[in-house]
Structure formats: C-alpha cells, structure tokens
Amino acid sequence: MPWFVKIEEGIVDKPTFDQNVPAHQAYVQELITKGHQARTGYWKQKGGGMMLFQATSMAEAQAIVAEDPLIKNNCVNYKLYEWCVVVE
C-alpha cells in the first residue's frame, strides 16, 4: 500500500490547537487499528507537524485527511503528498 504524508502548519492559537490534539491522537490510533500504519508528530524547532500513513490511493488519503480533527476544526493548513519509498 502506498505511503502518504500530510505536512501541516498551525493556523490557530496554541490553546485552541491543544484542545483538538486529543481527538487527533485518537483519530490516528483509529487509523493504526484499521491498518494504515499512521504516525503523527510535530517539528521541535518550529510550529507545524506531519502525519505519515498508508492508503490505497490519493483519493483514500484525501478522505482520511479530511476526517482528521485538526482539519475538521480548521487548526492547520496542510499539503498532502504521496511518498515513494526507494529503500526499506
């Protein structure tokens, strides 16, 4: 299954962002349970973060991202890329 990367930057204040983090974490855990091998994290040096996950297609990846609470609650701007792995 292809890998996808959502690169994001925060667009709300920290308290608003932080109140949506538990729902985002629960969503990522749900993706893991469903076999998408999702991982999420943030950049230590600056604002923003990344979510890495597997999906069957770009359409499925877009649908997955659309359901992320950080997206649904307008906490981040993002770009979505298919990541082509060359060495495993």
The number of beta carbons lying within 10 Å of the beta carbon of residue 63 is 11
- Evaluate whether 34 touches 87 at the Cβ level (below 8 Å): no
pLDDT reported for residue 50:
96
With a CB cutoff of 8 Å and minimum separation 6, the contacts of 32 are: 38
Domains recognised in the chain with CATH numbers: 3-83 (3.30.70.1060)
Q: Model confidence over 7-35: pLDDT tens digits?
A: 999 999 989 999 999 999 999 999 999 99
pLDDT reported for residue 46:
74
Q: Model confidence over 30-64: pLDDT tens digits?
A: 999 999 999 999 988 777 899 999 999 999 999 99
